[in-house]
Amino acid sequence: MTSTPLALTTRPVMLAASMLWVLVILVWRPVVDAPFVHDDLVQIVDREQQVDAPWRSWSALSAGQRPLVQLTLGVNHHLGGLDSRGYHALNIALHGVAAALCMVVLWTAACRLLERGVLAAQPTWIFAVCMAASALWAVHPVQTASVSYVIQRAELLVGIGALLAVWGLVRASRAGASVRWQALAVVGCAAAILSKPSAVTVPALVLAVDAAICTGSLAASLRERWMMHAACWVSLLLLLPLGVIDSLLDDGGVARSAGFSVPGVHPLTYAWAELGAFGIYAGELILPALMSIDHGWTVIETAPWPRIVGAAAVLSMLATLVVGLAQGAWWWILGALPLIMLLPTSSIVPLRDPVADHRLYLALLGPVLAFVALAAVPTSRAGSGWRRLGSLVVIAAIVTAVVTTINRNEAWCSPSRLWDPVIAMRPDDATALMNRSLSRLAAGDDDGARLDAAAAFDARPSDGSAAAMLGVLEVRAGHPEEALDWLLRAESLGTKTASVRGAKGDALRALGRYAEAAEAYEKASRRSPSSERLALLLGLSRAESGNMEAASMVLERLAADARDPAVMERARAWLKEFPGDAGSGATAP
């Protein structure tokens, strides 16, 4: 392992990559049992019809402008319906793939630097640095925002696409390399863009890595691989059929959280806020306690430290970039990487949420690699004592990250813990109150859920989800008339999810309004086609309203192939009591 760089390109690197994949699985294994939270409920549960075989229609596949994300969600739904465990398992597996790719990419890039003669160190030592940096990047607690949060799978897929693109680029830069490596770079860019529109800067990242690592010159990179880079930039045209450009220019696009302006916020105000966002990101790298599932604007507006730290962070990255370029060194890419990856979500395309931890996913690699390199370089030529000290510092950082990540994942398994600190900082935040209300409802704490839902409605009376939650709670409390009032109000405010329609059916059925209940259950079933409970209630309410033929069609299907034994048993019980066409007015058992 000390003779030539190429001696490490096969078995040792693959072994290290496999070890990282296993490490990710072990660290994140407990989060498999975590429920859906926050936007998971909106994008997956409430819009199940869009993840139920999305490949059947372009509108479903392009929902959210993220076809690859929709495709993987469709695979999860096909295999396990709305069982959150499968979705979490795939997220963990994808992050493991990204961690393994990170190791391969870092070592391949190091080999290229060694071949160019601009990196003076023992290959074994560089290998250890690549391994340590990949491990720290993989297990850093800030990554839970992308891995443990199902719908942020988009960040994982963007990361994998970008890493594949860089790997293809570096391999393509070697003498005699196959054109297939250039094709991989283009495919990686396209995959990233199809995963999330903010991946528009991935072609720029590929070009920057080429100039910093592969050739040492932007002109040389363009001269040697201009066709490949052109193809990478052409892949941005994939944004057109996804409607990204129209949504950014149209005022309607802002309502979907992204656009060239934020309603009620001056562009300079937003840019000033983003300086604070950089400060929070920088702080989270060292103090994970700063992480939050929903930062909002409060921490930026009420405390001066985020902007101070943000200014220092941005200046340090710019200094690394400028000084490195001036000296013709390769390490300017360490400052450029986080800037490039955060640029689309920092003032170019303003978002209603100025801070989001998941945006750090790939951007984290630059600071992590810089930290490990700085810890390793002073000891690489020193005595054994200094080497051990440098190694212990890096190992301690990795172990601390593992422990902190495991603790953070415990919060994802108990979602109220995610929202408690948000509400402590912003007691009148309707979004946080509603999400904690949902987690309390799932835990069986109806009283706590009611308090939070009522507070959310008081804070934002136009919030249909709060009215819906109060309606659901009234149904559970056995007050169908009060429940129906709340649910009708929720519908008038635009909240027409499967849970609202299902609860409305429950209230109407309890009031003896069976035909209306059947209509509500039918609408709910269309939104949540995998729910056997809704299908059962649809069949029973049809029977209670006298529509026995339609009831039999639903209940016979459930009696034959329902996955839930309780649903199957109840459907069979009804068919046994009312075989064939039982006439009108039958009461379901």
| 162: pLDDT strictly greater than 70 | yes
Domain boundary among 515, 532, 549: 532
* 271 inside domain: yes
User: Which CATH number do you get for residue 496?
Assistant: 1.25.40.10
Same domain, 73 and 37: yes
Residues 192 and 71 in one domain: yes
Q: Assess if residue 583 is contained within a domain.
A: no
Residue 310 has pLDDT above 80, yes or no: yes
**Do residues 349 and 443 share a domain?**
no
Q: Of 159-173, 210-224, 226-240, 551-565, where does mean pLDDT reach its minimum?
A: 551-565
pLDDT for res 530:
85
pLDDT digit string, tens, across residues 8-48: 457 889 999 999 999 999 999 999 999 999 889 888 988 88
The pLDDT of residue 589: 46
Average pLDDT over residues 118-132: 87
- 334 with 212, same domain: the answer is yes
Predicted local distance difference test score (pLDDT) of residue 32: 95
- 63 and 179, same domain (yes or no): yes
Q: Rank 55-59, 188-192, 305-309, 572-576 by mean pLDDT and report only the highest.
A: 188-192
User: Is the predicted pLDDT of residue 99 greater than 90, yes or no?
Assistant: yes
What DSSP string runs through 155-183?
HHHHHHHHHHHHHHHHHHTSTT--HHHHH
Domain count, the chain: 2
Q: How many residues does the chain have?
A: 589
Q: Classify residue 25: in a domain, yes or no.
A: yes
- Give the per-residue pLDDT at 437: 93
Q: What is the pLDDT of residues 529-552, one digit of tens each?
A: 888 899 999 999 999 988 888 888
Model confidence at 1: pLDDT above 50: no
Q: Residue 84's closest CA among 32, 43, 39, 48?
A: 32
Q: Is residue 247 part of a domain?
A: yes
Residue 258, beta-bridge partner list: 351
Same-domain check for residues 251 and 168:
yes
Secondary structure, 3-state, 219-261 = HHHHHHHHHHHHHHHHHHHHHCCCCHHHHHHCHHHHHCCECCC
Residue 539, domain member (yes or no): no
**What percentage of residues in the chain have a pLDDT greater than 90?**
60
The answer to whether position 566 is within a domain reads no
| Per-residue pLDDT at 297 | 74
Tell me what pLDDT residue 252 has.
45
Does 390 fall in a domain?
A: yes
Q: How many CA atoms lie within 13 A of 76 on its CB side?
A: 25
SS3 6: helix
**pTM, two decimal places:** 0.90
**361-389 pLDDT per residue, tens:** 999 999 999 999 888 766 555 555 666 78
pLDDT in tens, 235-266: 999 988 887 776 666 554 333 445 566 666 67
Residue 428 clears pLDDT 50, i.e. is over it: yes
Percent of the chain with pLDDT over 70: 90
Highest mean pLDDT among 113-122, 154-163, 509-518: 154-163
Q: How big, in percent rounded to 5, are the helix, strand and coil portions of the chain? A: 75, 0, 20
pLDDT of 472: 93
Question: Between these two residues, 233 and 57, which has the higher pLDDT value?
Answer: 233
Residue ending a domain, among 488, 513, 532, is 532
Residues 394 and 442 in one domain: no
What's the rounded mean pLDDT across residues 65-92?
94
pLDDT of residue 109: 94
Q: Model confidence at 211, in pLDDT bands (50, 70, 90)?
A: very high
Name which of 9-18, 264-273, 286-295, 302-311 the model is least confident about.
264-273
List, in sequence order, every residue forming a beta bridge with 265; answer none if it has no partner: 262
- Cβ burial of 451 (10 Å; 0-12, 13-18, 19+) is middle
- The pLDDT score that the predictor gives to residue 203 is 97
On the question of pLDDT at 2 being above 50, the answer is: no
pLDDT at 348 over 80: no
Same-domain pairing of 307 and 371: yes
pLDDT > 50? residue 586: no
Domain of 452?
419-532
Q: Is the pLDDT of residue 195 over 60?
A: yes
DSSP state of 359: G
Q: Answer yes or no: is 473 within a domain.
A: yes
Same domain, 351 and 404: yes
The pair of three-digit structure tokens given for residue 553, joined into one six-digit string? 């069609």
- Mean pLDDT for the chain? 88
Q: Do residues 430 and 365 both lie within one domain? A: no
**Residue 398 in this model has a pLDDT that exceeds 70:** yes
CA distance linking residue 281 with residue 581, whole number of Å:
65
| Same-domain pairing of 489 and 388 | no
Average pLDDT over residues 81-88: 94
In this prediction, residues 110-124 reach a mean pLDDT of: 87
Residues 328 and 444 reside in one and the same domain = no
* 395-401, Cβ contacts within 8 angstroms, sequence gap of 24 or more: 395/132, 397/136, 397/371, 398/132, 398/135, 398/136, 398/139, 401/136, 401/139, 401/140, 401/141
pLDDT band at 73 (very low <50, low <70, confident <90, very high): very high
DSSP alpha helices (H): ranges in 462-544? 464-476, 480-492, 498-510, 514-527, 532-544
- Among residues 364, 382, 413, the one where a domain terminates is 413
Reduced to 3 states, what is the DSSP secondary structure of residue 265? strand
Task: Taking residues 185-199, report their average pLDDT.
Answer: 95
What the block records as the tokens of 233 is 């930039």
- Looking at residue 262, the DSSP 8-state letter turns out to be B
The mean pLDDT of 302-330, rounded to a whole number, is: 92
Q: Which of 86-95, 272-281, 369-378 has the lowest mean pLDDT?
A: 369-378
**pLDDT at site 135:** 97
